[in-house]
Chains A and B, each alone.
Chain A
Amino acid sequence: DIVMTQTPLSLSVTPGQPASISCKSSQSLLHSDGKTYLYWYLQKPGQPPQLLIYEVSNRFSGVPDRFSGSGSGTDFTLKISRVEAEDVGVYYCMQSIQLPLFTFGPGTKVDIK
């Protein structure tokens, strides 16, 4: 099974400053079709998760452009260019290349200083 790890597990950010979260997978998420199946979600307090980024670097509909994803193979990064108060919550990376599991990372809790 693929294991997803995230660093850091918590992050306190000053509004307007950048933030970065790393996600690593135990196996490559690159499929033979040329796509890499790594996703990012944000779960705001008291809400269900919401999709931010799909296939490493594509922003989902309505996601602000201050969010960006990058990486390849087994190493991935989510960046927030300028953190806003509404960005607080827990960020999860997820892989969907291999059954029997869609595997989530442990989550990175982001709060505002």
Chain B
Amino acid sequence: EVQLVESGGGLVQPGRSLRLSCAASGFTFDDYAMHWVRQAPGKGLEWVSGISWNSGSIGYADSVKGRFTISRDNAKNSLYLQMNSLRAEDTALYYCAKSNRWELLRAAFDIWGQGTMVTVSS
């Protein structure tokens, strides 16, 4: 069964850091690009960041550029999101999503995890 399981969310103070992880199973992880998409409470979907199959191509939303870093470990079938300098507006459910292609762009998110909640508050 194809599965994505996120972890690492929680309550964090503004300005602090958090690292999210996504464990993939049921497919050949290093054949596909991977992404993070977030959803603030009661709001719509916002793409956060994506990484190509070999980490050669990476992209970020303007709202997180310079603060968040995406990475992957193909040997561990895992995706990560290092979030620094967190702000209240980063509060959201963070989804890990599998691309249907190896490259970053021109792709769909065909498998989604259940998400991990990040709350930034003092």
Q: List residues of A whose CB falls within 8 A of some B CB.
A: 31, 33, 35, 37, 39, 41, 43, 48-51, 54-55, 60, 90, 92, 94, 96-107
Identify A48's interface contact among B106, B107, B108, B115, CB under 8 A.
B115
Identify B105's interface contact among A43, A49, A99, A105, CB under 8 A.
A99
Identify B112's interface contact among A48, A90, A101, A107, CB under 8 A.
A48
Chain B interface: which size bin? 20 to 34
**Contact count A vs B, C-beta below 8 Å:** 65
Q: Can you name 30 A-B pairs with beta carbons within 8 Å?
A: A31-B106, A35-B106, A37-B105, A37-B107, A41-B45, A41-B109, A43-B45, A48-B112, A49-B37, A49-B95, A49-B109, A51-B108, A54-B100, A54-B110, A55-B108, A60-B108, A90-B44, A94-B45, A96-B108, A97-B105, A99-B105, A100-B59, A100-B60, A100-B62, A100-B65, A102-B35, A104-B44, A104-B47, A105-B44, A107-B45
